[in-house]
Amino acid sequence: MSSGGRRRRSAREGGGPVTAGGGTLTIAYHHDPEVPVLSLSGEFDIENVAEIERFLHRHLGPFYFRNRDLVLDLHSVTLVDSTFLGLVVSLVRRLHANRHELLITRPAGYVRRIIAVVGLPNLVPVYESLDEAFAALAVGVPVIPPPFEWAPAPVSTR
């Protein structure tokens, strides 16, 4: 859920969840323009990372990186390894080669620390909400990664 309490989701879902080893993948399309959001949950390591790529090919087409941006929502991911990080770097390279963006949203806990330690936020913009990510994409220019904190700032309840 975004910080404003509303979630921008179109009525069109990209298919039901797919289980891949210790992880689950789902995709939804969001408005302005339609941007696929790949929501991951669970653990992603050498045993199931290849399923992410297969899932994207099945649901977005084999050349998905040529004609659209992509958001990875990591809110429910509990473990990643170097295989997952390698896939992210590969996705960024392919998307950037076609003038599109990969954004990451809502990493938490261990996953957030791993992302920080390897310096991934210097390559891939990381946002605390889906709304922030969509606002960055709406500008229509290459996204400059925002400052990244090891721990997200506390959200005010006021």
Residue 117 confidence (pLDDT) above 90:
yes
* Residues 125, 143 contacting (CB under 8 angstroms): yes
pLDDT in tens, 15-70: 567 777 778 888 888 765 688 999 999 999 999 999 999 999 998 888 888 888 99
pLDDT of residue 2: 35
Question: Which helix (H) or strand (E) covers residue 113, if one does?
Answer: helix 109-117
Least confident of 13-22, 81-90, 109-118: 13-22
Rounded to an integer, what distance in angstroms lies between the CA atom of residue 72 and that of residue 85?
12
- Report the predicted TM-score, pTM, of the whole model to 2 decimal places: 0.80
pLDDT of residue 12: 43
pLDDT of residue 6: 32
Residues in CB range of 17: below 8 A, 6 or more apart: 24, 25, 26
Q: Which fold has domain 18-138?
A: Transcription Regulator spoIIAA (3.30.750)
pLDDT of residue 10: 37
Q: Which of 77, 72, 79 is nearest to 123 (CA)?
A: 72
pLDDT of residue 140: 76
